[in-house]
């Protein structure tokens, strides 16, 4: 499994776990939202170096 895929799966798993804990304990998302934003930001930072090859885009090979 690629490292970037593992990071994405870990972030998704962490979000699912935290959402489950928040719902079970009755916090109703009050603690979940900041933590979800933090985990999403960390995961986005870790995978931001992906070079998307969009035809006609700024990263397209010329």
pLDDT tens digits, 1-60: 567 778 777 877 887 787 778 778 877 666 677 777 777 777 666 555 555 555 555 554
Note the pLDDT tens digit of each residue in 45-54: 655 555 555 5
Beta carbons within 8 Å of 4's beta carbon, 6+ residues apart: 46, 47, 50
pLDDT attached to residue 54 = 53
Encoded tokens for 26: 């009755």
Encoded tokens for 13: 């798993």
Domain coordinates of the chain in residue numbers? 3-47
Predicted confidence (pLDDT) at residue 61 exceeds the cutoff of 60: no
pLDDT attached to residue 25 = 81
First to last CA, the chain: 30
């Amino acid at each position: 499994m690629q490292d970037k895929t593992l990071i994405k799966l870990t972030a998704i798993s962490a979000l699912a776990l935290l959402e489950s804990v928040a719902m079970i304990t009755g916090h109703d998302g009050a603690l979940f939202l900041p933590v979800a934003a933090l985990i999403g930001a960390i995961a986005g930072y870790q995978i931001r170096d992906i070079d998307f090859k969009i035809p006609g885009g700024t990263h397209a090979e010329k």
